[in-house]
Amino acid sequence: MRVVCCSNSGVSAFPSCLRFPPLIAISTTPSSIRFLNSPPLRSTASSQHVTIMASKNSQQDTRLARIASAIRVIPDFPKPGILFQDITTLLLDTKAFKDTIDLFVERYRDQNINVVAGVEARGFIFGPPIALAIGAKFVPMRKPNKLPGEVISEEYSLEYGTDKMEMHVGAVQPGERALIIDDLIATGGTLGAAIKLLGKLVNTNVLWASKENPLSESC
Ligand SMILES: O=P(O)(O)OC[C@H]1O[C@H](OP(=O)(O)OP(=O)(O)O)[C@H](O)[C@@H]1O
Ligand SMILES: Nc1ncnc2[nH]cnc12
């Protein structure tokens, strides 16, 4: 699936609305997978449910424009046809970086989140400060063969290749409520794999955040 959304940049392969760290909140309530304004996310777990979430005031929040403009866009990297969204420039802008973290902390600090799961590598940048600020533990979702303990794995397709994601068994306990943090969605393959991976440990109810979709508890 390619996530489709209106783009200010005019490049449909990577919508500007997703130039913002996506976030998923997962609880242990079983239901079904669904996106607002987009086709269903790839998933084998028919008992899951996905809801797009964002700040109620996201359209008016001036921080979002600064965050979006702090992300450098590089055409044809790492290969022709890829419009690369470079968040390293966001990290150089201390205000934009802090605003990014603050937005998620404001949204989720009162939502009983126990676990922030960060997707390697860029979810390791945004995930830990959010976890610390909301009082949650941080769980890395890693590239293969990096974790020393017992792991569960999920293979997935990328815009430019395939990959595998692993996490430690026991890192997330049944009944815990988790957020998945990564920097962006391109094909959605990584996000889908992260949802499936967590779904192997707990029943999941998934809430998905993006800049341009209104906050909603269910769709
Ligand atoms: O929606 P998708 O098509 O799955 O692409 C998005 C993923 O791609 C990038 O990571 P990448 O796999 O390039 O790894 P990196 O963070 O280690 O650079 C990005 O940080 C997301 O995790
Ligand atoms: N277009 C893109 N920009 C940055 N990182 C990516 N990872 C996968 N697709 C990407």
For 122-181, how does the pLDDT look when each residue is reduced to its tens digit (9 = 90+)? 999 999 999 999 999 999 999 999 999 999 999 998 766 788 999 999 999 988 888 899
Whole-number Å distance between alpha carbons of 111 and 113: 6
Widest CA span of the chain, in angstroms? 45
Query: Is the shortest distance between the CB of 85 and ligand 2 below 6 Å?
Result: yes
CA angle 21, 60, 63 (to 5 degrees): 45
Question: From the CA of 146, how far away is ligand 1's center (Å)?
Answer: 17
Beta bridge partners of 126: none
Model confidence pLDDT, tens digit, residues 34-56: 232 233 333 333 333 333 344 44
Instruction: Assign residue 56 a region (left: φ > 0; alpha: ψ between -120 and 50; beta: otherwise).
Output: alpha
Peptide bond into 178 cis (omega under 30): no
Whole-number Å distance between alpha carbons of 198 and 166: 10
Known catalytic residues?
A: 122, 159
Q: Do residues 187 and 157 touch, judged by C-beta distance below 8 A?
A: yes
Query: Is the shortest distance between the CB of 84 and ligand 2 below 6 Å?
Result: yes
Structure tokens at 130: 């959010």
Ligand nearest to the CA of 82: 2
Flag whether the ipTM exceeds 0.90. Answer: yes
Mutate to test the pocket of ligand 1, among 122, 154, 166 (most ligand atoms within 8 A of CB): 122
Question: From the CA of 3, how far away is ligand 2's center (Å)?
Answer: 13
Model confidence pLDDT, tens digit, residues 72-85: 999 999 989 999 99
Ordered structural domains, the chain, with CATH: 16-58+113-209 (3.40.50.2020)
Query: Is the shortest distance between the CB of 215 and ligand 2 below 6 Å?
Result: no
User: Phi and psi (nearest 5°) for 206?
Assistant: -110, 130
Ligand nearest to the CA of 122: 1
- Contacts of 72-81 with C-beta under 8 Å, sequence gap 24+, read 73/9, 73/19, 78/160, 79/160, 81/13
Question: From the CA of 2, how far away is ligand 1's center (Å)?
Answer: 14
Q: Is the pLDDT of residue 7 over 70?
A: no
Question: From the CA of 31, how far away is ligand 1's center (Å)?
Answer: 27
